[in-house]
Amino acid sequence: MAQIKKANGLVDWLDQRLAVRSLTRVLMTEYWIPKNINFLWAMGVVLSVLFTLLVVSGIFLLMYYKPDVNYAFDSVNYTIMQEVAYGWLWRHMHGVAASAVFLVIYIHMFTGIYYGSYKKGREMIWISGMLLFVLFSAEAFSGYMLPWGQMSYWAAQVITNLFGGIPIIGDALVVWIRGDFAVADPTLTRFFMLHVLLLPLIIMLVIVIHFYSLRIPHVNNETGEEIDYDIEAEKYKAGDKKESKVIPFWPVFLSKDFFVVSIFMVFLFYLICFHYSFAIDPINFEPANPLKTPDHIYPEWYFLWSYEVLRGFFFDVGPIAAADIGLMAFGFANVAFFLLPFLDRSDVVAPAKERKKFNLWFWILIADMIVLTIYGKLPPTGANAWVGFFAAMVFIGLFISLPIITKGETKGGAR
């Protein structure tokens, strides 16, 4: 009887192993990717690696960081940077990876726009991706405050004050977010909780949704071609790999992803070890001082384009105050990308280079966002203010005109 039970236990164990292998095969081997895609399609995996790096480095930093206005600055700049063995490395990894995440997010986002990867049933992929952008922005902003330096403090003061422009509930909402009438210890504690617990959990959930939405439908490709994945997969399995238009996710596609990730990590650790300071404003190495306002307040580089839209409107229009106009423009700028699948009225799924009017629209958008980013860091005086105003107007005008530009478009961009 003991031998029979032992044999039955072995059979059960084998059944479980086979079930796991079958599930792995369905999720990995049986998921097919278009063959005609380039390295830009690896940005999602690069982002996953960077997010993992941020979580791991954040856990190590969490061991020594103190979320208290009296100790936060010293715990980062002295304890972690000077007293903890290799503490400087973990802080550098966390700070540089935070900037690198947004660099890759923008590449990933504009790749999707260029190749029309938000269309033809892929709206959920796009919206979940944009939701991740918003969540990463909130995560970055809450983390930017934690070192409690001068720019951290005053950026938090300015950004939280934006909510005061919301009608009726604005002032009460600002006090609720800060936990006080000004940015103070309760604000730091709340942002600490958001940064290390609530936002990472929500980001992980949305990442799962984003990855799963890639299966329905499949990943877009460089030409926007509609592929019958069942037929093409059978060709590949039959050995006709050259004629098949798809490749298996594992190991073929993922091996390419690993190669791109490896190249990117070389670039990342070069910055971590030799050019860490590029990601931090020098003013932020001064302790926060509520009585000393910096000459010029601005956020991190990845927020500068929307910040310039916010402050680009510096004059009143009739009874509407300039601050209210800027706030409305800022809200529109942050919602516009969510609406892209609905603003683009064309049924054509093709790279921008094959859509003449859209191609012009796309490159004007890129140029305009670069201008907004550059001028977002400059003092809004004289000619700078007017350049910012016109760049903000161009940004808003691009999205308002998109339905007109794309309506009636035919394959090849003839109209």
Both 313 and 277 in one domain: the answer is no
DSSP class of residue 287 equals B
Both 284 and 371 in one domain: the answer is no
- At residue 198, the pLDDT reads 95
Domain end: 297, 323, 353, which one?
297
Domain end: 251, 282, 297, which one?
297
Both 279 and 334 in one domain: the answer is no
Both 247 and 347 in one domain: the answer is no
Q: Which domain holds residue 253?
A: 31-297
Residue 92 forms part of a structural domain: yes
Both 376 and 273 in one domain: the answer is no
Contact 169, 162 (CB under 8 A): no
- At residue 280, the pLDDT reads 79
- At residue 247, the pLDDT reads 86
- At residue 16, the pLDDT reads 53
Contact 91, 76 (CB under 8 A): yes
- At residue 22, the pLDDT reads 43
H helices of 312-382, in order, are 322-336, 340-343, 356-376
Total domains in the fold of the chain: 2
The amino acid present at 344, given as its one-letter code, is D
- At residue 36, the pLDDT reads 85
Residue 107 forms part of a structural domain: yes
86-136-191 Cα angle (round to 5):
70
List per-block mean pLDDT (blocks of 10 residues) for the chain, which spans 415 residues. 57 50 47 86 94 96 95 95 94 94 96 92 93 96 94 91 86 92 93 95 96 84 84 85 85 89 95 85 90 87 94 88 90 94 92 93 97 94 94 97 87 51
- DSSP annotation string for 30-81: T-EEESS--GGGGHHHHHHHHHHHHHHHHHHHHTT---STTTHHHIIIIIII
Residue 61 forms part of a structural domain: yes
For 372-397, letters b (16+ CB in 10 Å) and e give bbbbbebebeeeebebbbebbebbbe
Residue 203 forms part of a structural domain: yes
* CATH number of the structural domain spanning residue 232: 1.20.810.10
- At residue 282, the pLDDT reads 85
